[in-house]
């Protein structure tokens, strides 16, 4: 962002130390590229107004260290954990006619072992090793 001085003979709002308040000040002249002589419209005190220094930010950008966790396969850990705890559990053979319930272990002929993560009237979300799948169940 480039700051520019207000034009000469125009007024702008800035703090007046003498008034101890924000006042309109008339720009009398530009003294440098970044400062101007100004006069308070209330107390008529004259002062030099300087633009805040642009750029040159002193705050170093925080280095993005390896602390940022990037999880490639967000459910892999959860799946592995479930398999560790329940790997020996016999999965229920998957069938669209079976009504599954939350947390049940499923044995799917194509996708393998899965765990029911969400149950709707006619669909279940099942977490398999590679992906979360929505399958039809409870079909009459
Ligand atoms: Zn003033």
Q: Is residue 102 part of a domain?
A: yes
Q: Is residue 70 part of a domain?
A: no
Do 42 and 92 share a structural domain? no
- Looking at residue 71, what is its pLDDT? 52
Question: How many angstroms separate the alpha carbon of residue 3 from the centre of ligand 1?
Answer: 23
> Which of 10-14, 66-70, 84-88, 131-135 is predicted with the least confidence, judged by mean pLDDT?
66-70
Asked whether the predicted pLDDT for residue 122 surpasses 90, the reply is yes
Do 80 and 46 share a structural domain? no
Question: How many angstroms separate the alpha carbon of residue 82 from the centre of ligand 1?
Answer: 72
Q: Is residue 66 part of a domain?
A: no
Ordered strands of the 112-119 beta sheet: 92-93, 105-108, 112-119, 123-128, 132-136
The number of folded domains in the chain is 2
More confident: 54 or 110: 110
Q: Is residue 60 part of a domain?
A: no
Percent of the chain with pLDDT over 90: 71
Asked whether the predicted pLDDT for residue 4 surpasses 90, the reply is no
Do 88 and 44 share a structural domain? no
Q: Is residue 105 part of a domain?
A: yes
Instruction: Tell me which residue range forms the domain holding 25.
Output: 11-50
Question: How many angstroms separate the alpha carbon of residue 29 from the centre of ligand 1?
Answer: 18
Percent of the chain with pLDDT over 70: 84
Question: How many angstroms separate the alpha carbon of residue 49 from the centre of ligand 1?
Answer: 13
Q: Is residue 19 part of a domain?
A: yes
Mean pLDDT of 28-43: 95
Instruction: Enter the DSSP assignment of 82.
Output: H
pTM as predicted: 0.48
Do 82 and 32 share a structural domain? no
Q: Is residue 58 part of a domain?
A: no
Q: Is residue 103 part of a domain?
A: yes
Of 95, 97, 120, the closest CA to residue 107 belongs to 95
Helices (H), the chain: 76-86
Asked whether the predicted pLDDT for residue 134 surpasses 70, the reply is yes
Do 119 and 80 share a structural domain? yes
Do 81 and 130 share a structural domain? yes
Contacts of 138 (CB under 8 A, 6+ apart): 96, 97, 98, 99, 100, 121, 122
- Looking at residue 140, what is its pLDDT? 85
């Amino acid at each position: 962002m480039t700051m520019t001085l207000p034009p000469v003979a125009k007024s702008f709002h800035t703090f007046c130390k003498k008034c101890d308040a924000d006042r309109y000040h008339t720009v009398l002249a530009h003294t440098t590229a970044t400062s101007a002589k100004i006069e308070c419209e209330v107390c008529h005190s004259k002062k030099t107004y300087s633009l805040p220094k642009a750029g040159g930010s002193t705050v170093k950008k925080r280095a993005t260290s390896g602390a940022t966790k990037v999880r490639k396969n967000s459910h892999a850990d959860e799946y592995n954990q479930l398999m560790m705890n329940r790997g020996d559990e016999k999965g229920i053979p998957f069938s669209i006619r079976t009504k599954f319930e939350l947390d049940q272990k499923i044995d799917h002929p194509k996708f393998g072992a899965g765990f029911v993560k969400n149950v709707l009237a006619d669909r279940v979300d099942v977490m398999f090793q590679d992906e979360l799948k929505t399958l039809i169940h409870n079909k009459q």
